[in-house]
Homo-oligomer: A and B are copies of this chain.
Amino acid sequence: MGQPTVGSNPTSSAMNQSKEAMITADEAMLLALEEARKAAGEGEVPVGAVGVAGGEVVATGHNLRESSHDPTAHAEMLVLRQAAAARGSWRLDGLEFYVTLEPCLMCAGALLAARVSRLVYAAPDPKAGACGTLYNVCVDPRLNHEIPVLSGLMEDEASRLLSTFFAGRR
């Protein structure tokens, strides 16, 4: 629990380019957790996400399904759309994606559709996870894109946020 299941320093190659400017995987996930806390503060299921390109944060967001009345307003979708708007392209090659909860089918499908380059998530989702739990769609050779997945980075903190949130609603 709480340790990545694949690799230990996922940004090492990027870090070599410019140590000062590059955000680390830990820093990116801490930002995603901060977004998840914002969601909880707004009465939303606490899930946060961050997009990183070229070692810089290009988009951050959190789940807004309830307040926006939008079934597609999961953290991942909002961050993908924000990153695409910033780049002016639906194709997000090179984007490294951090999210506090394992993406569902919709979000995993969107990550594939956007051609993101890597996915790092914190907590697994036993009820809807599509990136290793119920499905493993990011590594399906039949699809036109595959995404390397790293799971478990700061899993304990992400899970604690979720369980505290749901305990408070009971």
Q: How far apart are A137's CB and chain B's nearest CB, in angstroms?
A: 6
- CB pair A70–B85 under 8 Å, yes or no, is yes
Give CA–CA (A107, B85) in the complex, Å. Answer: 20
Interface residues in A96-139 by Cβ distance below 8 A to B read 104-110, 112-115, 127-128, 130, 134-135, 137
- CB pair B105–A137 under 8 Å, yes or no, is yes
Option from B73, B92, B112 in Cβ contact (under 8 Å) with A105: B112
A33 at the binding interface (Cβ < 8 Å): no
Q: How far apart are A58's CB and chain B's nearest CB, in angstroms?
A: 14
Q: How far apart are A157's CB and chain B's nearest CB, in angstroms?
A: 25
**Nearest-CB residue, chain B, relative to A127:** B144
Known: A80-B72, A144-B128. A90 touches B65 (CB 8 A): yes
Q: How far apart are A140's CB and chain B's nearest CB, in angstroms?
A: 8
A170 at the binding interface (Cβ < 8 Å): no
Option from B74, B89, B113 in Cβ contact (under 8 Å) with A69: B89
* Binary flags per residue of A69-84, CB closer than 8 Å to B gives 1, else 0: 1111110010011001
